[in-house]
Amino acid sequence: MFKERIFDLFEQCVMTTLSAIIMLIASVSLLHLTVSIVVMLADRGINSTTPENLQAVFGMFFTILIALEFKRSFITPSAGKQHGIIRIEPILLIGILATVRKFIVLDLKEIDFNEMLGLSAAILSLGLVYWFIQPRYQPQPPALQSDNF
C-alpha cells in the first residue's frame, strides 16, 4: 500500500511536469504562429493568401492542436484512472492529426509517388484501426408512451 502511494505521487509529479512542458510548447507555438501571421499580413497585406503561406499557417495550427490533444488525451485522464495511463484511441487520433498535418504542409511539386502512397496508406490504416476499435453507437428504441393517465 505504501509503495503504491509513493508510485502514485511519483506518477502525479511526472504528469504535472509533462503538463507544464506541453503547455510551454503550445504557448511558444501559439506565440510563434501569432507573430508569423502579423508579420505576414504586415509585409504582404491582403495578398498573403498564397498556397505556401496557407500551408505554413495551417501546419502551425496543427502543431498546436497536436500538442493540446496530447495533453488532453494522455495526461489529464490519467490522474483519475486506476488502470494505467496509455490508451490506444488517443495514440491513433494523434497519429491521424500528424499525418493530416504532413499532407497539409506537403509540397506537391517535390513529392514522389512512393512517399504519397506511403502517407495515404498510413492515414487509411490509422483510420481503419480507429474505426474498428471504437464502440458502436446503438440507439435505444424510444420508450413506449402510455395513454393511461
Between CA 55 and CA 49 the distance in angstroms is 10
Delimit the domains of the chain by residue range: 2-133
Residue at 133: amino acid letter: I
Between CA 46 and CA 44 the distance in angstroms is 6
Residue at 17: amino acid letter: T
Residue at 10: amino acid letter: F
pLDDT at 75: 67
pLDDT at 76: 61
Which three cell numbers, joined as nine digits, stand for 35? Answer: 507573430
Phi and psi based region of residue 145 (left: phi greater than 0; alpha: psi -120 to 50; beta: remaining) = beta
- Within a 13 Å sphere around the CA of 26, how many CA atoms are in the beta-carbon half? 16
pLDDT in tens, the chain (149 residues): 777 888 888 888 888 898 889 889 989 989 998 998 888 778 766 566 677 777 788 888 888 888 888 777 766 655 555 555 567 787 888 888 888 888 888 877 788 889 889 889 999 999 899 888 877 655 566 665 555 55
pLDDT at 68: 84
pTM over 0.75: no
